[in-house]
Every structure is written in structure tokens, then in C-alpha cells.
Homo-oligomer: A and B are copies of this chain.
């Protein structure tokens, strides 16, 4: 007799596992259970549903050929039984049953041969008074999304506050501000947006862009209360009070692992995710799990981690489907690739940030470069700013992050590194990484190769770097820091800066620096600057050779600094 597979959860991983199983083993009997009525939807599309980019909520529930993925579709097209609006109360591993509670019915037991836990995640709740007020909600379900969209389209929202500047928070900020013209503030407890995802330096570039788009950012700030009469009216933080008709809670997600834990399955103590092996089996060989509710190996740190992404769920679901059918597919783990569009900019990364690498115990540095995406002589081109995180000594590459208006061009570089991160590549592997080259696609020495070359030069002691953030801190107190900027560009580039800050700015083009070594002050902190960090690096080498070593090189030069948001020619 054919096996019966029960799948708990029918959003992303559940349906994928079910359909894959049925394709490999058409005889299998599959029952998929979900507490909600709406199943099998693209949760990652919710911000775009709120913005109106996705006009009809059904678009998140249809196949690419416009079939609605409801219960009838799964029965007819896929041969999968669905029990929607049904809660699983308990798993009995000995009896191999689940106790389910259907709508308007008595609880009943369902037997399984194999069980799949696709229970997903839930928004992290905040212990703040007032979170239950109407108008304060997360954006984790289609219902949430439609509630917000209804409020917005009815004109009921003129001011919104978003709690959390992670992916969902920033996507929602764009959705509300850009598409609906709502005055939007984002409150984040960390001192940067996208904490843990990009460095402070890249985050600052994104922050500058958000400010340009009139999103108010309140960083290093905590919400202490949400207040209002019968509905949300204001948000109280550790620093201020902000009026709001809508408060969106986007402080991350937590894995739904309680059912697994109650059944005695192993759950990761560090992350709360259900533990699975490489075949996506839990500690019970008859039970598989994947998606937002599991902890899988972070292939850079070797530790269990949470990777709550639809892309993970889909790929893991396929592996589970294959294995349910008697195959032996594996999911090796994850490196943590991420991307987000913020208005006109893309931010993406993979692996560890510098800070995270250091927290994990790596003796790490980062290299930063800004360069055009295409050959510099090619007429159409856009800047890409990259930061490569590298372990000292071994030269092992631990991660990369970047920001650019060329979203796909940025993704090309990040994805190439994501692909090899599990093989523990070194800086040399990235220096020689063979991107598909021709002038409309990349540069002969691509920005990705270049950032590895810079890392190599930093590791080799030839390049003493300083980041835009570090420079900004020095510049703010330039007098007490005894600072001078040595501008290594041509006179016409340096002119405006010299005029504005004659005491803190000097100009010697890199090509002639060896002839003007005497002019370089030996008693000051000298920051070398050019447009990208390349010419100033050459100047540093020449000065070092001449015995002048009190210099640091501004990584990504004026190119990065401008995006970062510090313009010495306009500020006072």
C-alpha cells in the first residue's frame, strides 16, 4: 500500500514538498494541513501588495500560469488533500498520529507514515504597552497586508511608524512612503538600518538614500509605548513622541517550533529552530522539517542558524519531497544571501558582515571599493560599492555586502561569491573570479576582482585603510584630531574642497606625489583621498617609499563618501 504523508503547514515549504513528492512518487497519499484558509502564497510579496505594485492579492496565490492555488487546485492538479482552517494540536510519535482540530468539529487523529513540519515563523512580539491597539500590527499574513492596504487606500493613514529597520521594515517604509505619500518614520534599536546584514558604512549609504526619499529614521532608539484612544495615535520612544495612524511591527520573526518541542524533537537552544540533518530529517527519522521553523548549518560559521526566506523554503521543500519518495537528496546549509530594494537602490550581501565575523571570533578586516559596473569607457554605467570581509592570516573570504542603483549588477557580484562561500574561498579566488566579461556587462578588472585585490593589499600591509564612517568621525572633530586631507586627484576635482577648507585640505595629484613629499605634513593625521581609493593607494605606496607613513587611505574615496552622505563642500 502507498504511504501516507502528512504535512503541517501549507504556505511555502509544505506545498513544495507535497508537489515534489507526488511528481517523484505519484502513488503517495498526501494530506496538507494549515490553520489558515488562504494557503500557498508568496509571503515575500506582501510589501508589494501593500504598495500596490501587486494590485490583486490573488496574484500572490496564483501559479505563473494564473491558476489559483487553493484547496481544489491541490486536489485536482496535484493530487494533494488539503485540510485548511485546521489546527494541529499534538503529534504522537509513537502512534504516528497527529491530533487535528478542524473548524466546527471535534478533534480527531490522523495517522501518518511520514510527517513534515512546515510550521514557519511568527513575528516577534514586543513587550510594549499598546501593541494591541487597533492600527498596530505586523505584516506576516495576507490578512495583515489587506488590513493595512484597506486603511491606506481609504486615506485613513497620513502618518505611519515602522518598528524595526530590517528587510520587512524597510520594504514597508518604501511601500507606504513612495506609493502612498505617507509620512513614514522607522524606529530601530540598533544604531543602523539592516543591522547584522551590512556594515554601518553601507547602512549609512542606505540611510542617506532613505533620508533623500523623506523617510525619517530614528536609530539607536527604542519604542517604550504605543498610545491612543481606541486606536493608535502616537508612538513613544526613548527619545521622542511620534504621531501615527498606523504602526507596523517588523522586529523580526521567531521559528514556530513548539509543536516539535512538545513532541520531544530536538530544537536548537541557540536559535529556537527545529534541528535537522542534511537530508532535512528531524531527530525522528519519520519526521522531516524545513523552512522558517528549522535551524540549519551556517556554512561560514559552522553553527546552526535561522534563514527565514521563501527561497530557502522552496529549495528545502524539494529536498524533502525527494527524500519522502525514497530518494536521498541533501541540503548542505546556507551562507546567508540577502537582498533588498530600497527605493532606487539595491542592497545585497552574503556571508558575514565584518562585525558579525569579529563576534564569531574571526580576526577579520574588510576592504571597500567603488567602481563602475561596466568598462569605464562604456557609455552606460552605474557605480557599485562593495565591502569584502576577510580573515587575516588565512585570507579566507567570510562575506561580502554591497549597494548600488544597479540592482542586478550588484546581485551578479554577490551571487558569484555566495556560490563559492561554502568552499571556503580565499582572497585570491575572488581576485581571479571569472565573471562573464564584455564591456556592457562588467569591467576587465571587475569591481569584484578589485575589492579582493584591495583586501590582498590591506592584508599585505600595502594599503592602510579608513572607511567613510571612520573618516566622518575624524572629520567631525578635524581640528582636535589634527587632520588633513591630502587630495590625490587633479586640481579641478580638488578645487572646491580646497576653497572651502583651506586648513584641512591639500592637493597633490598621485602621479606627482614623489616630487612633493616635503609638502606632506609629518605632524598631522593625513587622509589620502581620490575618487575611488585607487590613486590614493598609489600615493600611499609612494609616500611610504619616501618614509612618510602617517597616512591612511579613504576606501572608495569621494565616490563612497558622497553616497555615505558627507559632502565637505556643502557642510559647515
Give A contacts to B, CB under 8 Å.
12, 16, 23-24, 26, 42, 44-45, 48, 53-54, 59-60, 62, 64-65, 67, 73, 76-77, 167, 171, 309-311, 313-315, 318-319, 329-332, 334-341, 346, 348-350, 371-373, 375-379, 406-409, 411-420, 423, 428, 431-442, 444-446, 449, 453, 460, 462, 489-490, 493, 510-512, 530-532, 534-535, 537-538, 541-542, 545
Q: Do A438 and B377 touch across chains, with their CB atoms under 8 A apart?
A: no
26 contacts between A and B (CB under 8 A): A24-B460, A42-B375, A44-B437, A45-B377, A48-B379, A60-B377, A65-B531, A76-B512, A167-B438, A311-B446, A313-B444, A318-B445, A330-B428, A331-B432, A332-B432, A337-B436, A339-B436, A339-B442, A407-B441, A408-B409, A408-B412, A411-B442, A415-B416, A415-B433, A418-B436, A420-B423
B-side contacts of A413, CB under 8 Å: 415
| This chain's copy number in the assembly | 2
Residue of B60, B377, B434 touching A350 (CB-CB under 8 A): B434
Most buried by B among A315, A332, A415: A415
Residue of B318, B411, B428 touching A412 (CB-CB under 8 A): B411
Q: Do B54 and A441 touch across chains, with their CB atoms under 8 A apart?
A: no
Nearest neighbor of A510 in chain B, beta-carbon distance: B77
With A59-B377, A511-B67 given, is the CB distance from A418 to B434 under 8 Å? Answer: yes
Please give me the 6 A-B residue pairs with the lowest Cβ-Cβ distance, nearest first. Answer: A77-B511, A408-B408, A339-B436, A311-B437, A412-B412, A310-B444
Q: Do B318 and A439 touch across chains, with their CB atoms under 8 A apart?
A: no
> Separation in Å of the A536 CB from the closest CB of chain B?
11
A332 to B428, CA, bound (A): 10
With A335-B434, A449-B315 given, is the CB distance from A375 to B418 under 8 Å? Answer: no
B-side contacts of A435, CB under 8 Å: 311, 337, 411, 415, 418
Q: Do B23 and A538 touch across chains, with their CB atoms under 8 A apart?
A: yes
Q: Do A445 and B311 touch across chains, with their CB atoms under 8 A apart?
A: yes
Q: Do A431 and B315 touch across chains, with their CB atoms under 8 A apart?
A: yes
Q: Do B42 and A377 touch across chains, with their CB atoms under 8 A apart?
A: yes
A531 to B66, CA, bound (A): 12
Q: Do B462 and A23 touch across chains, with their CB atoms under 8 A apart?
A: yes
Q: Do B329 and A428 touch across chains, with their CB atoms under 8 A apart?
A: yes
With A408-B406, A419-B416, A445-B314 given, is the CB distance from A349 to B462 under 8 Å? Answer: no
A76 to B538, CA, bound (A): 13
B-side contacts of A379, CB under 8 Å: 48, 53-54
With A42-B375, A378-B54, A445-B311 given, is the CB distance from A339 to B437 under 8 Å? Answer: yes
Q: Do B444 and A314 touch across chains, with their CB atoms under 8 A apart?
A: yes
A542 to B19, CA, bound (A): 13
Nearest neighbor of A488 in chain B, beta-carbon distance: B65
With A12-B444, A48-B378 given, is the CB distance from A438 to B341 under 8 Å? Answer: yes
B-side contacts of A332, CB under 8 Å: 432
B-side contacts of A537, CB under 8 Å: 23
> Separation in Å of the A70 CB from the closest CB of chain B?
13
Residue of B48, B318, B432 touching A377 (CB-CB under 8 A): B48
Nearest neighbor of A76 in chain B, beta-carbon distance: B511
B-side contacts of A412, CB under 8 Å: 408, 411-412, 415
A26 to B538, CA, bound (A): 10
Q: Do B67 and A437 touch across chains, with their CB atoms under 8 A apart?
A: no
Nearest neighbor of A315 in chain B, beta-carbon distance: B432
